């Protein structure tokens, strides 16, 4: 497992209000699938909210870099039916902030959702032993 990332996933009836890890941690193979970008996906069946959460360590060891998360994703439920949201966690206000939405993609088609947080970025970093981490998540609500 990488020491500069922490990826988890789950199906949850309610959207978690905090940035605690989700119920299922990525395996080594799943980390590889994300890293390689080779058309292999990490699956998550869902009946309520499909959630992927990741925490990345800032390689520059500061809390001033602009935050620009990106996620390649594919869903069996078209975002044109149920939007996909990209959020970052504000450590100061303890809230998730939506920075991007995709509501046009078709089902079972890979798309990239990109976002940016340039204002008050220090509020979005969590310091841990001199390292600075940002929590991000993508989610989609099941509508069947």
Contacts of 59 (CB under 8 A, 6+ apart): 4
Is residue 54 within 8 A of residue 6, CB to CB? The reply is yes
Domains of the chain: 5-141 (2.60.120)
Within a 13 Å sphere around the CA of 55, how many CA atoms are in the beta-carbon half? 22
Closest CA to 1 of 54, 51, 41, 50: 54
41-86 per-position pLDDT tens digit: 777 777 888 889 999 999 999 999 999 999 999 899 999 999 999 9
Q: pTM higher than 0.85 for the full model?
A: yes
Task: Find, among 18, 38, 35, the residue nearest to 26 by Cα.
Answer: 35
User: pLDDT, tens digit, for every residue of 100-133?
Assistant: 999 999 999 999 999 999 999 999 999 999 999 9
Query: Sign of the C-alpha dihedral, residues 92, 99, 108, 27?
Result: negative
């Amino acid at each position: 497992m990488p020491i500069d990332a922490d990826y988890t996933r789950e199906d949850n009836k309610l959207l978690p209000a905090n940035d605690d890890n989700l119920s299922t941690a990525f395996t080594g193979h799943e980390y590889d699938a994300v890293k390689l970008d080779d058309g292999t996906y990490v699956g998550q069946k869902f009946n309520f909210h499909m959630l992927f959460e990741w925490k990345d360590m800032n390689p520059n060891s500061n809390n001033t870099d602009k935050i620009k998360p990106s996620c390649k994703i594919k869903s069996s439920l078209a975002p044109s039916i149920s939007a996909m949201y990209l959020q970052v966690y504000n450590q100061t206000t303890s809230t998730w902030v939506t920075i991007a939405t995709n509501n046009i993609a078709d089902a079972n088609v890979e798309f990239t959702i990109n976002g940016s947080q340039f204002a008050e970025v220090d509020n979005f970093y969590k310091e841990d032993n001199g390292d600075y981490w940002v929590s991000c998540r993508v989610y989609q609500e099941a509508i069947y």
